[in-house]
């Protein structure tokens, strides 16, 4: 059985966007918002974070590649990506 991986984007309290990967989005959001050692260093001082986008990938490799692609997008492009899935 292979794990399903997810790429996600969260909006931080300061309105910045953070992109990451995980196998469990709900757990990861709890970790981010908990501000503990398992939260991302970037988000710890920007709490709370809100999930704004996610997509599933078949493998960690695919999720990492997609994460890299999303991180290279401009803020405007990321917001368009988020908006495109909000209306579906």
- Domains in the chain (CATH in brackets) are 5-86 (3.40.1440.10)
d(CA 31, CA 44): 10
| pLDDT on residue 1 | 55
Mean pLDDT by groups of 10 residues along the chain of 88 residues: 88 97 96 91 94 96 98 98 79
d(CA 41, CA 32): 9
Q: DSSP strand E in 12-65: where?
A: 17-22, 50-57
Q: Are 67 and 21 in contact, with CB atoms under 8 Å apart?
A: yes
């Amino acid at each position: 059985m292979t794990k399903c991986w997810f790429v996600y984007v969260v909006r931080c309290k300061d309105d910045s966007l953070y992109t990451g990967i995980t196998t469990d989005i709900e757990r990861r959001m709890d970790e981010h918002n908990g501000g503990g050692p398992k939260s991302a260093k970037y988000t710890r001082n920007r709490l709370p974070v809100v999930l704004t986008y996610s997509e599933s990938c078949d493998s960690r490799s695919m999720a990492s590649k997609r994460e890299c692609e999303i991180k290279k997008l401009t803020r405007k492009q990321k917001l368009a990506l988020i908006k495109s899935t909000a209306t579906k």
